[in-house]
Amino acid sequence: MATYVIGFPRIGEQRELKKALESYWSGKSSQEELKKTASDLRKRHWVYQKNAGIDLISINDFSFYDNMLDTTIMLNAVPEKYKDIEDELDRYFAMARGDKTHKAMEMTKWFNTNYHYIVPELNENMEFKANTSKIKEELEEIKELGITPKINLIGPITYVRLSKVEGNANNIIEKLIPVYKEIINEFKDYTIQMDEPYFVTNPTNQDLELLEKTYNELAKDANIYVATYFEHSNEANAVLAKTPIKGMFLDFVAGNENSIKELVNTGKEIGIGIVNGRNVWVNDIEKSAEFIKGLTEAVDSEKVHIGSSCSLLHVPYTLKYETKMDEDIKSWISYALEKLDEIRVINKLVKNEELSATDKEVLEGNKIAISTRKTSKKIHDTIVQDRVSNLTEKDKHRSMPFEERIKLQHENLKYPILPTTTIGSFPQTPELRKLRRDYKNSLISEEKYKEEIKKMIAECVKFQEEIDLDVLVHGEFERNDMVEYFGEQLNGVAFSQNGWVQSYGSRCVKPPLIYGDVSRPKDMTVEWITYAQSLTNRPMKGMLTGPVTMLNWSFVRDDQPRKDTAYQMALAIRDEVEALEAAGIKVIQVDEAALREGYPLRNEKRAEYEDWAITSFRITTSSVKPETQIHTHMCYSEFSDIMDAIEDMDADVISIENARSDNSLLKIFKERGYKGEIGPGVYDIHSPRIPSTQEMVEQINAILEVLPAEKVWVNPDCGLKTRKWEEVKPSLKNMVEAAKEVRNKLK
């Protein structure tokens, strides 16, 4: 009986990889320095796992940017447009984030997580071949530490199914099988973990036939374990039981319906993923041990392995640096390193092994945490619970139909055809971050802090007026993160000092910890936004994060249904919406950037999520006057199967990330006859390149081939906080000029 984790965080406990990447990208350090940091991190992470008692330690779960992109390199599936870049690492980063002459590849969410992957671009004419240099390098490093690893690979079916494909995807999978076989044969003496999470998403019969054929071929003479996660994979479990794989690693947290019957009957080994890799609440160790004993009662113990439900990439690194967190709340959570201890102790309890002093300490602390969390007065607020109980249908609907209120908004706001705006945030410079840090550490006074923030807002408003934007924003200089900023001001929500989680590349977020009933004790944004509005006669957008995004980008309490927490959050944000409107703000954007990623991966579970998620948004926005325009923003979404839900949100304007998708998303809105107004992103803010006016004219014209001009807004793909002013200013200036050029031709 072995312990394992599906994968480990790579960003570093102090975000060392993030800092090394950004130093390299800015030209301040060399490739050798970047690679040295990466090597040091890998070795440190492996030693941590070894010392914690993990038996199957992964290599190839580390990445400079993304594992799907690494797989693209491993298979020589590099698109032709990047092959003019001679340096391998620079080519890799150009594919991920673009450069002065290359657009980045498309990026989207990894299943229903907040992690982004780089979408491969495949076609049947590609000549795939094996490139195992990365795996061999890591293998040599880990062998120096006396560790025999398991090797992580993204399986061929998941890889292709999550790609943009020209031609027949199944033919591409067929072409990849011999390449994968070559890679597997090269490392056949090692345990190989093949990630096939695609098979938790209602696979077709054709998918399952292909799965059986693929692993009948790949698993010959190899120690292959197929890993699925984020849901159950029962159809695949039954099929893979008939193949020569050694076993499966299954998620029994999000996929507690997983069946192991066929796998057991055919003698396969079973990995029980019982420690949650996507949330931070402590595992009930004794309860988990009893569950595993019951589940595997008739299974040879040597064929049972205990581990994480999915990669620990999705949780912070360690509680070691959380010196300011409330001690009760801290006792209720565990990060990646602490989860290793949970796995080890559960394993020993299942095997009835004697616990060491350290194990006993872990178990006793766990028992106390489970007990105190159930009874703590910090969690429950009857006033909040009563507000949710008293919600009525009137609380969930605007007072006037869209067709009528949009006319009032046009008369009230007087914006032109193809109105221009931005999504909200402006660059977060090192000087700004230092200012916020100094204020947080009491190194400067509140008066000084507010004075400096107001200067930045004034400069931002002035710049927007100078380039002639139609609807302005205040820049969000007072905000660290769109979720963290609001979470810090809500009751029932806690924050960490070092709870960083990788979102993509070097981008890390620090999710809130929603531990109790949620309420808003005071105004959160009104002061800053009304100040910005006082500087201009143009409409100023109030900028808020929506309740569903707050949940999907937080670690949400697991002791009550998510629906209840969502409605509590909706009422808290609604209070702020009403306060902004009362203060004279006529345009309010409630971002639901993460609405799509919260969808269950199984079709049969989606209706329930849609019901409470869309209702939560409507609770937040329904009480405003018809003249008040409600915007929302959604990131990296495949909209085809959620258009009913988007329409049910009843927002007046929706802006979407679009620049990397060749306007394919917009065709869905056209086909459905979407009634609202739409702001498709006209340039990609995740790349440092500055698009020309002509390029954006062409993009707007392409949009107008799909959507009528009277419905279209012109804006960037997303917020601008990660970009530099020297990139933002010319890009926005070009964007406004492009909108005017097209607007004049329309006239």
**Chain position carrying tokens 């602390």:** 365
Q: What b/e readout covers 564-575, taking b as 16+ CB neighbours within 10 angstroms?
A: bbbbbbbbbbbb
Sheet holding 3-4, edge to edge: 3-4, 304-308, 269-275, 247-251, 223-227, 191-195, 150-154, 58-59
Q: Rounded to an integer, what distance in angstroms lies between the CA atom of residue 542 and that of residue 489?
A: 17
Instruction: Count Cβ atoms below 10 Å from residue 505 Cβ, excluding itself.
Output: 25
Q: DSSP characters for 222-247? A: SEEEEE--SS--HHHHHHHTTSS--E
Local structure of residue 502 (DSSP, 8 states): E
Tokens of 249: 């690693």
Q: How far apart are CA 359 and CA 365, in angstroms?
A: 10
Q: Which two tokens stand for residue 149?
A: 């690893």
* 654 contacts: CB under 8 Å, gap ≥ 6: 631, 632, 633, 634, 646, 676, 677, 678, 679
Residue 627 exposed, middle or buried by CB count within 10 Å (0-12, 13-18, 19+): middle
Calculate the CA 531 to chain-centre distance.
32
8 A C-beta contact, residue 132 and residue 179: no
For residue 619, the SS3 value is helix
Q: Are 20 and 38 in contact (CB under 8 A)?
A: yes
Please say whether the beta carbons of 306 and 1 come within 8 A.
yes
247-251 vs 223-227, strand pairing mode? parallel
Phi-psi sector, 505: left (phi>0), alpha (psi -120 to 50), beta:
left
410 belongs to the catalytic site: no
DSSP, res 381: -
Distance CA 623, CA 573 (A): 12
Q: What is the dihedral of CA 25, 508, 682, 731, to 10 degrees?
A: -50
SS3 content of the chain, % helix, strand, coil (to 5): 45, 15, 40
Strands of the sheet containing 555-556, edge to edge, are 491-494, 513-519, 555-556
**In degrees to the nearest 10, what's the CA dihedral of 308, 309, 312, 318?**
-60
Separation of alpha carbons 326 and 745, rounded Å: 60
Burial class (CB in 10 A: 0-12, 13-18, 19+), 295: middle
Distance CA 527, CA 519 (A): 19
d(CA 341, CA 338): 5
Token representation of residue 334: 């565990």
Query: How far is the C-alpha of 575 from the C-alpha of 397, rounded, in Å?
Result: 16
Q: What letter represents residue 557's amino acid?
A: R
Among candidate residues 102, 232, 631, 686, the one labeled active-site is: 686
Residues in CB range of 285: below 8 A, 6 or more apart: 342, 345, 346, 349, 362, 363, 366, 367
Sequence-ordered strand ranges (E) for 233-353: 247-251, 269-275, 304-308
Q: Answer for the pair 42, 138: CB distance below 8 angstroms, yes or no.
A: yes
Alpha helices in 56-132 (DSSP H): 67-74, 88-97
Instruction: Using the structure block, give the residue that is written with the tokens 């609202």.
Output: 676
**Across-strand partners of 165?**
122
Residues labelled as active-site residues? 686
